[in-house]
Amino acid sequence: MREGFVDFAKFTFELIGKTSENNNNLKFAAVNSQIALELFLKFYYVKTGKVQEILKRKHGLPINEFNDFSQILNHFYATRTWSYGQKNELAKLLDVRNAIVHKGQSSKWDADLAVIIVRTMFFINATAWVLLRESILVNNYNPHEIGRNPIWRAGAEDFAEDFCDKVYPCLSCGAYALTSAEVMVLDSSNSEEDFICLCCLSSLNGSHVRILPCYHCCDEAYYLDSLNEQPNQQYVGKCVECKADDFVRKCASCDDFYHPSSKSEVLLNSKYYCCQDCAE
């Protein structure tokens, strides 16, 4: 069953990567994402030993047949106080699927539906990670080409805004979709201190990458590698937003990074400190 939902999710992912307003892929992506979601929810109940709760009943006893998807979805939401997606969005996938399969309607271009499909992929990945320690995505190390697809990008930024506490502009793809791997990982190569980009599916090693408020534009978008020290306690960095790339300095006492133009900087016995307190 795990293979089932992972296969459909991966296929949905491939389809979204090739979906645009100018082709017919959206309907295939919608149907596949609904199947992936249904199989995922069934897998979740089986894996957590609660499958009885979503089986059909005869004379009060569960029989070897699953309830309908909408009942399973209702049960999932009725038994949770929080989730990585809205029930009505996930339910819409079923409506779209039924319109295609049962009524022969071929859905036209629908930008909202496209975003819902992407959000569903993240719903599955985040839920699978938080509840089951499973992931369907893959850490690509280098930016994945799907990040250039406007549908995926819109869905990734949308999900990040709704469900991630802190979101940064990604150093690789520029999308506002870089967040802490505490929410979900791309795969088991990530640790929870890493940063992952939901748009280009790459990650940054949180043990040495720092993201600071930029000294120039003040956005939290100034990246530096804390292992790459230059002379005079300086570090090379760059702001994704305003492209400022002056070196910043690390205080010899508190280890905070600051811009050398800071008026409170103190030079004492050839060491730099961020402020008078640190120098004493």
Contact residues: Zn ion, CB under 5 A: 170, 172-173, 197, 199-200, 214, 216-217, 239, 241-242, 244, 251, 253-254, 274, 278
Beta carbon of residue 6, minimum distance to Zn ion (angstroms, whole number): 23
C-alpha separations of 177 from 114, 190, 203 in Å: 17, 16, 11
In terms of CB distance, is 55 or 244 closer to Zn ion?
Answer: 244
In terms of CB distance, is 138 or 254 closer to Zn ion?
Answer: 254
Beta carbon of residue 89, minimum distance to Zn ion (angstroms, whole number): 23
In terms of CB distance, is 115 or 173 closer to Zn ion?
Answer: 173
Beta carbon of residue 19, minimum distance to Zn ion (angstroms, whole number): 19
Beta carbon of residue 44, minimum distance to Zn ion (angstroms, whole number): 28
178 CB-contact burial (10 Å; exposed 0-12 / middle 13-18 / buried 19+): buried
Q: What SS3 class is residue 93?
A: helix
Determine how many CB atoms are found less than 10 A away from the CB of residue 107. Answer: 16
* Start-to-end Cα distance in the chain: 63
Beta carbon of residue 209, minimum distance to Zn ion (angstroms, whole number): 13
Q: How many CA atoms lie within 13 A of 109 on its CB side?
A: 7
Beta carbon of residue 1, minimum distance to Zn ion (angstroms, whole number): 32
Cβ atoms of 153 and 169 within 8 Å: the answer is: no
Query: For residues 136 and 124, what is the distance between their CA atoms, to the nearest angstrom?
Result: 8
Beta carbon of residue 130, minimum distance to Zn ion (angstroms, whole number): 22
Choose among 174, 177, 181: nearest CA to 162: 177
Q: What SS3 class is residue 182?
A: coil
Cβ atoms of 90 and 37 within 8 Å: the answer is: yes
Residue 97, both tokens: 């699927």
In terms of CB distance, is 128 or 274 closer to Zn ion?
Answer: 274
In terms of CB distance, is 129 or 257 closer to Zn ion?
Answer: 257
In terms of CB distance, is 136 or 156 closer to Zn ion?
Answer: 156
Query: For residues 205 and 210, what is the distance between their CA atoms, to the nearest angstrom?
Result: 9
Query: For residues 262 and 156, what is the distance between their CA atoms, to the nearest angstrom?
Result: 36
Beta carbon of residue 163, minimum distance to Zn ion (angstroms, whole number): 17
180 CB-contact burial (10 Å; exposed 0-12 / middle 13-18 / buried 19+): middle
In terms of CB distance, is 26 or 200 closer to Zn ion?
Answer: 200
Looking at residue 99, its amino acid is: A
In terms of CB distance, is 91 or 242 closer to Zn ion?
Answer: 242
